A and B are shown apart, each in its own frame.
Chain A
């Protein structure tokens, strides 16, 4: 099956700092999504991004499908950005998740 690897596994930022999260996948995929899980467990879809670049406020994402990776950029981080960030790829008809990046933003 497909492998989805996220890096780094853990990240601690000072409020206001920028960061880049990476997602590598081992095979061609139909789509790629980024999710944020808040400290209470709720998962929210951030981006559906099979290729190209999208921006939403302080967040942006880029997927280079031919090179099998995606990047999530967080600028001017805030404490509310803390949580776990997952990428997930659609492989066949299954959505396969990476292990996640745990982000902690300190004030």
Chain B
């Protein structure tokens, strides 16, 4: 079965903390994505990666960085968490090419206090 696993479902962090969100996929997919989801705004792309050590900015990269050292793992980093980064974060992966299904993890609910 297809699996995208996000390491933490619920986190509460303090303002200014460094936060790591981890995502692992077991499908040997080339593409991996990080989105954030906020009410009324849908899903907005933060960063994506189409290969190991490759990354591209999405629509809202400010305040975030990513790391992809291995093909199966894509990490999202909040260097200094702020309250406006309280959100649901979704990781996804897909095979290369435009017609391939994208698979999502279950999401990580982050609250920054």
Interface residues in chain A, defined as those with a beta carbon under 8 Å from any beta carbon in chain B:
1, 4, 9, 30-31, 33, 35, 40-45, 48, 50, 86, 88, 90, 93-100
Contact = CB atoms under 8 A, between A and B. Distances in A.
Interface size class, chain B = 20 to 34
Contact of B98 (A9, A31, A44, A96): A31
Interface of B: 33, 35, 40-45, 48, 50, 56, 58-59, 88, 90, 92, 98-99, 101-104, 106-107, 109
Contacts of A86: 42-43
Contact of B58 (A35, A88, A94): A94
A33 B100 CA distance: 10
B42 A43 contact: no
A48 B99 contact: yes
Nearest to B50: A93
A90 B11 CA distance: 31
Contact of A99 (B40, B107, B109): B40
Please report whether the interface of chain B is mostly helix, strand, loop or mixed according to DSSP. strand
| Centre residue among B35, B40, B98, B99 by max chain A CB count within 10 A | B98
A94 B48 contact: yes
Given A86-B43, A94-B45, A97-B43, A45 B107 contact: no
B106 A97 contact: no
A98 B48 contact: no
B98 A43 contact: no
Contact of B103 (A30, A40, A45, A99): A45
A9 B40 CA distance: 8
